[in-house]
Amino acid sequence: MQLIHVFSIAPFATLFASIIVGLFGKKCPKVFSYALTTLGVGIAFLISIYTLYITSHGFHGEFTLYQWLATGSYNFEIGFMIDNLTALMMVIVTFVSLMVHIYSIGYMKQDSGFSRFFSYISLFTFAMLMLVMSNNFLQLFFGWEGVGLVSYLLIGFWYKKPTAIHANLKAFLVNRVGDIGLLMGVGLILFWFGSLDYQTVFDRSVSLGNQSIFLFGDSAVSLLSVICILLFIGAMGKSAQIPLHVWLPDSMEGPTPISALIHAATMVTAGIFMVSRLSPLFELSDTALSFITIIGASTAILMGIMGVVQNDIKRVIAYSTLSQLGFMTVALGVSAYSVAIFHLMTHAFFKALLFLAAGSVIIGMHHDQDIRHMGNIKKYMPITWITFLLGSLALIGTPFFSGFYSKEMIIEATKYSQIFGSGFAYWMLIFGVFFTALYSTRLYLMVFHGTEKWRTLKLRNTHHGLNSQQSPHESPWVITLPLILLTIPSVIIGYLSIDTILFSDFFTTSIFINDEIHKNFSQINNHFSSPIKTGLHGFLTLPFFFMMLGIIVAWFVNSQMFKSNITPKFVSFISKILEKGYGFDTLNEKYFARWLRVAGNFLWLRIDLNLIDRYLVNGPAYLINRLAFKLKSLQSGYIYHYAFIMIIGLFLLMTFFIKL
């Protein structure tokens, strides 16, 4: 068996399982659905481990699966590029996917769409693997839209819920806005580079570094800046950066396991992955990098603040995801691609853990997601409690936890960066750390500590939630096992792998950094000695103080709240802005979507039906009809009318000739 066949097993095992379960799962017992799909993703996980093993020992290769299409002078192929970046992504994707598969056996147990769910998440794994394994832009786009499709299907999984089917349409359309950018970037690449293969494009990129194009009349703009910004617009859609982030909070309407898999750990990081994969292009455009830095920093801070005012357990974590994606984006902008991937990895573990633990809490609370109804759950759900606590510690960046290393490195890289916007980004990230600690601590305290608030609720939801006599129970082992398995890397993976991933030559074949201009990463490299020293030093840094400040503020506000029994209130003006999510939704729905519908009605009724149809098409018909009606009276059938006309005619003719 050739190597390409080994690699292809990973995606196609999941695709195969997905198709079989999708077709026959409904008629078979549940064990068939989950066993087959879990087996499929398990195989994919083992292959990914093997791939990472051989690539970390120096293997690097490109393979072509088949030729998709050839036209003119262009060839489009489907193929794989296997290197450390691909292999690491494969491992992350399949590991989290495997955990989510196991978890869902318990979480979705009662659901009538059980087999459909497993078919979807396996299909998702397939699309995501095709995306990360691609060796060309076309297949990237395939995977890109493929994961978008599954995300659409899974957000709308409970298709009877009006909010769910609103959210999935919104998610798909907002992503499509980004995809337009991506596709335009690909179009320009095909035109200027003559190929869509990554390697060919990278090889030719240096010679096109100073190429200008004329987009706006006579003013020349740098080709690579245009391409990179267009590609990044695609990443903004998928990785939910401002202003294309609006779909992600609403996507929480989907089942919780997919929030963990798709909307935290894997799909939303596709944009981060893409930019890292294309680092040889992005390195050539400082304009694009500045743009990325500023967008990322704004997302990190603005979405972090939003996390503080949410009361739905999943929405808090969703805004946290947005904010963390902002951190990764800043890392891309300051040319620290490997750090972005490093944070992507640690974040995948601890955020998947947080979502799954939140799901466990939600089951315990009988599908009540409001944190104002929770409290003291640590007593009833000890495993969930401990794993959630460890996940939160990793998220806020407690020294020695995985999240600490990745976040610390991003902030360091930003600090030393010379790129325009990095100064702004540095402070936004520092404040971001504060807000991360604030919302995480608030969430943790409200859910796991304090009084058991569901017992004293005045307004009780009749469909969901516990009544005052019931208590939550710890979830079964299929749910707690993935939590434990995810806790391990959430805590230690940063410590174990920082040396290899960031400061060895792990990524030298995959990621290109233009060291002469972007020196910040090599500067951190010089400062770094060992993970232990970094961890110890972490207690003395500015981010650490901001983190502690966040914890203290959260603790203080929370303890005050118990006394006076009020929710934390900011100045009313700010809280109004935050309630509306800075008004992005209002802008989109009240203005943009409505404007489009008004335009549709106008063009249809006024232009199409009225102008074209009524005047230009039916108009002449109507005129001819009227004319014929008038002319009809000439043919009256009376002989004396005809005789009269004849005589007049003869008379006129004669006068005409006589004149001559």
Partner 1 sequence: MIAPLSLAIWTPILFSIILIGLGGLLPKKLGPNLALLGGFVSFIITIPVLIEFNYISPLFQFQEFHHWILPYRINYHLGVDGFSVPLILLTSFMTMIVIFLTQDTNIKNLNYYHGAFLMMSGLMIGVFSSLDVILYYIFWEAMLIPMFLIIGVWGGPNRIYATIKFFLYTVLGSLLMLVAFIYLFFEAGSFSLIDYYHLPLSLPIQIFLFVAFFMAFAVKIPMWPVHTWLPDAHVEAPTGGSVILAAIMLKLGGYSFLRFALPITPDAVSFLQPALIVISLIAIVYIAIIAMAQKDMKKLIAYSSISHMGFVTLGIFLLTPMSVEGAYVQMISHGFISAALFISIGILYDQTHTREIQNYGGVINKMPLFSALVVFFAMANSGLPGTSGFVGEFMVIMAAAQENFWIALTAAMTLLLGAAYSLWMVKRVFYGEAKSKVVLKLKEINFKQTFVLVSLALLILILGLFPFLITDITNTTAENFIQFMNRSKFPIL
Residue numbers of the site for partner 1 (CB under 8 A)? 66-72, 74, 141-142, 144-146, 149, 152-153, 156, 159-160, 162, 165-166, 169, 172-173, 176-177, 179-180, 183-184, 186-188, 190-191, 213, 215, 596-597, 599-601, 603-604, 608-609, 612-613, 616-617, 621
Q: Give the H/E segment covering residue 358.
A: helix 337-364
- Taking the complex as a whole, how short is the minimal distance between the CB of residue 629 and partner 1, in angstroms? 18
Q: Which is nearer to partner 1, 159 or 644 (CB)?
A: 159
Residue (258 or 437) nearer to partner 1, CB: 258
Q: Quick one: tokens of 178?
A: 């980004």
Kindly state the tokens that stand for 392. Answer: 């939160």
Min dist CB 1 to partner 1, Å, is 23
- Name the minimum Å distance from CB 459 to partner 1: 24
| Cβ-contact 125, 99 below 8 angstroms | no
**Minimum CB distance to partner 1, residue 523 (Å):** 38
- Coil, strand or helix at 507: coil
Minimum CB distance to partner 1 smaller for 253 or for 283: 253
Count of C-beta atoms within a 10 Å radius of residue 110: 8
Backbone φ and ψ for 329, nearest 5 degrees, come out as: -65, -40
The answer to whether 245 and 155 are in contact (CB under 8 A) is no
CB of 186 to partner 1, least distance (A): 8
Q: Are 158 and 43 in contact (CB under 8 A)?
A: no
Q: Do residues 400 and 498 touch, judged by C-beta distance below 8 A?
A: no
CA separation, residue 655 to residues 642, 652, 660 (Å):
20, 5, 9
Q: Given the complex with partner 1, which of 165 and 577 has the nearer CB atom?
A: 165
Residue 620, SS3 per DSSP: helix
| DSSP sequence for 308-340 | HT--BHHHHHHHHHHHHHHHHHHHHHTT-HHHH
Q: How many Cα atoms sit within 13 Å of 312 on the Cβ side?
A: 13
**CB 162 → partner 1: shortest distance, Å?**
6
Cβ-based nearer residue to partner 1, 539 or 602 = 602
Residue closer to partner 1, measured from CB, 527 or 597:
597
Among 405, 400, 412, residue whose Cα is nearest residue 500: 405
CB of 597 to partner 1, least distance (A): 6
The nearer residue to partner 1, 159 or 591, going by C-beta atoms, is 159
**75 φ/ψ angles, rounded to the nearest 5 degrees:** -120, 135
Least separation, in Å, of the C-beta of 198 and partner 1?
Answer: 17
Q: Which is nearer to partner 1, 67 or 418 (CB)?
A: 67
Cβ contacts of 576 within 8 Å, gap of 6 or more = none
Comparison of 224 and 353: residue with beta carbon closer to partner 1: 224
Rounded alpha-carbon distances, angstroms, from residue 492 to 16, 393, 498, 545: 34, 12, 10, 22
Question: For the residues of 116-136, what is the DSSP string, one character each?
Answer: HHHHHHHHHHHHHHHHHHBSB
Listed residue (381, 359, 501) closest to 452, CA to CA: 381
Task: For partner 1, give the closer residue by CB, 146 or 391.
Answer: 146
Least gap, CB of 332 to partner 1 (angstroms): 24
Which is closer to partner 1, CB of 175 or CB of 324? 175
User: At its nearest, how many Å lie between partner 1 and the CB of residue 136?
Assistant: 13
Beta carbons within 10 angstroms of residue 416's beta carbon: 18
Instruction: Give least dist CB 618 to partner 1, A.
Output: 8
